[in-house]
């Protein structure tokens, strides 16, 4: 508890000025480097309006620095993926046995809230630059971009804990005075924030931005708005937001689904948001990267000798693999699942799958071979960077790859989901949206798609990504699907995580809510 109190009272007590990231080189040079590769310095001369953009750089840095433990807590509970490794409480989370003292719950809470408070600090700093004479329209755009970052992570908080605190400033002490907002109130707040941001953002694809390549645009904000309304089951609002994205005719699906999650897929025309990293194309020196180790193999034989591995803590489920085999899918299954010999044997132990397609192998297209390991039988292919795509001289697993967050295929399938639930649209039909996604991977078109078709397509398309499958099943009360491989999901108690015990000890609202729920 003492360490957590220090976190709140000391780290967040820093003024917003110190929280903002600055750099000691010219602004022009910054555009050539990933935004997360910035240093902290103190600059209080708000009359230097050219430095206002550094508030935005620092905000993107905070987004890209999403800590590794947060993603699995968001994503691990669906029937598409299993926790592997030696983190027993993570395995129990995957099986709906929640431990409020599990360190990953508390870290995820702190990670997300530290980002949100940081972003409030950055917005406050931008306002100070505006007051000192910086261009008002530019300040508005920067704040709008930061609001989208904030909204996306608040969406994750609400999905995890239902009732959340919605800060209105960077002051951590204010958290003690904020009432908990209901899930519905949080979604409405996020939607309203996106309405404020949308008209102030560039109306281009993220990869068309020249000032900040891959930066947030109007379409990103519309996507977050659609996600919030999907959780509210306000399907007309979902259709309206996704129709604007589709109607812009700016996005298209990358032809090669397999390469979408690898170096060729960085900032593709499909991307509405991704976390960006780089090794600067150099064999050594500064690097910025996500901690891909969580997903990587503990035992493999890479084609590039010396390429590093990982921990093998995130494993696609046998249920998903059989679902895809039954559909006759190759490209999405081969992209999502890396097989070991034991994994292949496990599938074949079921007489219905004794004969597998010839392409099922523990060696990939890039000649990387995945060996048996006691922690897992399968590995996550969407988080795999082939060793031959590493920059020569670099050997850390996954280095230089980006992390996909929101893709155009999700826009299309949210749009279809809204239409089959009764919404109307002037852009494309549900059949057209679903079949666009299916055509990319060589699947035959469907006619008269239903909610079952849409949810199956989302299962195939987004397995292991951002908990999408779990949130789909819980939204439609189809949680019987979660009762697989010995799991038992209780809709009355298992939809949300318990508040971390450390937060209950600190924040009275959290403690009271936890006591009321017990």
Q: At 293, list the tokens.
A: 């180790």
The alpha carbons of the chain give a radius of gyration, in whole angstroms, of: 23
The whole-number pLDDT of residue 20 equals: 31
The whole-number pLDDT of residue 215 equals: 98
The whole-number pLDDT of residue 87 equals: 87
Domains and CATH numbers, the chain: 2-67+99-264 (1.25.40.390), 68-98+277-401+452-487 (no CATH)
What are 285-323's pLDDT values in tens digits?
877 889 999 999 999 999 999 999 999 999 999 999 999
The whole-number pLDDT of residue 42 equals: 52
Report the relative pairing of strands 314-316 and 271-275 from DSSP bridges.
unpaired
The whole-number pLDDT of residue 12 equals: 34
Helix (H) or strand (E) holding 123: helix 103-131
Check the CA dihedral 463-466-467-469 and report its sign: negative
Torsion-angle region of residue 464: left (phi > 0), alpha (psi -120 to 50) or beta?
left
What are 214-270's pLDDT values in tens digits?
999 999 999 999 999 999 999 999 999 999 999 999 999 999 999 999 999 999 999
* pTM, to two decimals: 0.92
CB-based contact 93:77 (threshold 8 Å): yes
Report the relative pairing of strands 378-380 and 314-316 from DSSP bridges.
unpaired
What are 78-110's pLDDT values in tens digits?
999 999 988 899 999 999 999 999 999 999 999
With both helix axes pointing from N to C terminus, report the angle between 136-161 and 183-197 in degrees, rounded to the nearest 10: 160
The whole-number pLDDT of residue 44 equals: 65
The whole-number pLDDT of residue 40 equals: 37
Check the CA dihedral 336-111-218-280 and report its sign: negative
Nearest residue to 190 via CA among 243, 232, 218, 160: 232
State CA 408 to chain mean position distance. 14
Q: Which residues of the chain have pLDDT under 50?
A: 1-41
Q: Can you spell out the DSSP letters for 126-195?
A: HHHHHHTT--HHHHHHHHHHHHHHHHHHHHHHHHHHSSB---SSS-GGGGGGPPPBPHHHHHHHHHHHHH
The whole-number pLDDT of residue 199 equals: 98
């Amino acid at each position: 508890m003492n360490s957590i109190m220090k976190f709140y009272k000391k780290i967040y007590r820093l003024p917003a000025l110190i929280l903002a990231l600055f750099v000691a080189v010219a602004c022009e040079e910054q555009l050539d480097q990933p935004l997360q590769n910035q240093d902290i310095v103190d600059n209080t001369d708000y009359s230097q309006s050219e430095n206002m953009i550094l508030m935005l750089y620092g905000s993107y840095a905070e987004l890209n620095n999403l800590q590794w433990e947060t993603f699995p807590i968001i994503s691990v509970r669906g029937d598409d993926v299993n926790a592997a490794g030696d983190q027993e409480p993570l395995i129990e989370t995957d099986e709906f046995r929640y431990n409020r003292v599990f360190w990953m719950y508390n870290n995820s809470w702190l990670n997300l809230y530290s980002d949100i408070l940081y972003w409030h600090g950055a917005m406050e700093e931008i306002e100070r630059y505006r007051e000192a004479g910086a261009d008002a329209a530019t300040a508005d755009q920067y704040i709008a971009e930061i609001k989208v970052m904030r909204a996306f992570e608040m969406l994750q908080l609400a999905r995890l804990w239902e009732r959340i605190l919605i800060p209105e400033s960077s002051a951590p002490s204010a958290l003690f005075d904020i009432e908990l907002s209901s899930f519905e109130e949080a979604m409405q707040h996020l939607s309203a924030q996106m309405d404020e941001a949308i008209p102030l953002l560039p109306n281009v694809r993220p990869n068309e931005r020249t000032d900040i390549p891959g930066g947030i645009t109007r379409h990103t904000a519309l996507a977050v708005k659609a996600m919030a309304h999907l959780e509210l089951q306000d399907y007309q609002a979902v259709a309206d937001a996704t129709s604007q994205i589709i109607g812009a005719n700016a996005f298209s699906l990358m032809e090669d689904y397999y390469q979408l999650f690898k170096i060729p897929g960085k900032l593709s025309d499909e991307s509405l948001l991704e976390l960006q990293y780089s090794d600067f194309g150099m064999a050594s020196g500064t690097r910025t990267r996500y901690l891909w180790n969580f997903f990587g193999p503990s035992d493999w034989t890479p084609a590039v000798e010396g390429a590093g591995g990982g921990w093998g803590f995130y494993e696609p489920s046998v249920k998903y693999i059989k679902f895809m085999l039954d559909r006759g899918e190759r490209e999405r299954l081969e992209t999502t699942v890396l097989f070991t010999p034991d994994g292949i044997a496990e599938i074949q132990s079921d007489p219905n799958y004794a004969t597998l397609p010839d392409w099922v192998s523990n060696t990939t297209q890039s000649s990387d071979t995945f060996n048996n390991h006691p922690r897992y039988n399968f590995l996550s292919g969407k988080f795999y960077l082939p060793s031959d795509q590493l920059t020569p001289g670099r050997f850390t697993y996954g280095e230089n790859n980006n992390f996909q967050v929101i893709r155009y295929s999700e826009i299309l399938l949210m749009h279809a989901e809204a239409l089959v639930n009764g919404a109307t649209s002037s852009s494309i039909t549900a059949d057209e949206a679903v079949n666009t996604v299916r055509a990319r991977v060589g699947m035959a078109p469907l006619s008269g798609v239903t909610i079952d078709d849409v949810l199956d397509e989302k299962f195939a398309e987004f397995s292991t990504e951002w908990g999408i499958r779990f949130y789909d099943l819980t939204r439609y009360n189809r949680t019987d699907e979660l009762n697989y491989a010995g799991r038992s999901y209780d809709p009355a108690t298992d939809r949300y995580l318990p508040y971390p015990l450390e937060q209950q000890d600190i924040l009275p609202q959290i403690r009271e809510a936890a006591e009321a729920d017990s």
